């Protein structure tokens, strides 16, 4: 809340972790190859935030 931000994206952790408190969602998105997902963020025109975790395909298996 001190940032006056609608959403805070953080990096450097390999797994996804929700760390936000209060009214501001904040996430470490995680590394796609470890977490298996990426964060898909939609910012609404009135300040709303929709966060979903979209799966990603891993590398082809040989």
The count of other CB atoms within 10 Å of the CB of residue 49 is 15
Would you say 17 and 34 are in contact if contact means Cβ atoms under 8 Å apart? no
- Residue 38 resides in a domain: yes
- Residue of 25, 35, 24, 33 whose CA lies nearest to 2: 24
Domain count, the chain: 1
Q: Which domain holds residue 45?
A: 8-55
- Residue 48 resides in a domain: yes
pLDDT at 49 over 80: yes
Residue 17: per-residue pLDDT = 83
- Residue 2 resides in a domain: no
Would you say 15 and 27 are in contact if contact means Cβ atoms under 8 Å apart? no
- Residue 13 resides in a domain: yes
Cα distance between residue 7 and residue 27, in whole Å: 9
pTM, full prediction: 0.60
How wide is the angle at C-alpha 46 spanned by C-alphas 16 and 41, nearest 5°? 20
- Residue 60 resides in a domain: no
Categorize the per-residue pLDDT at 15 as very low, low, confident or very high, splitting at 50, 70 and 90.
confident
State what percent of residues in the chain have pLDDT above 70: 87
């Amino acid at each position: 809340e001190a940032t006056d931000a609608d959403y805070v994206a953080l990096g450097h952790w390999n797994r996804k972790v929700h760390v936000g408190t209060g009214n501001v969602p904040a996430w470490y998105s995680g590394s796609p190859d470890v977490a298996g997902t990426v964060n898909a963020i939609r910012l609404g025109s009135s300040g709303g935030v929709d966060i979903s975790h979209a799966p990603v395909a891993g590398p082809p298996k040989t």
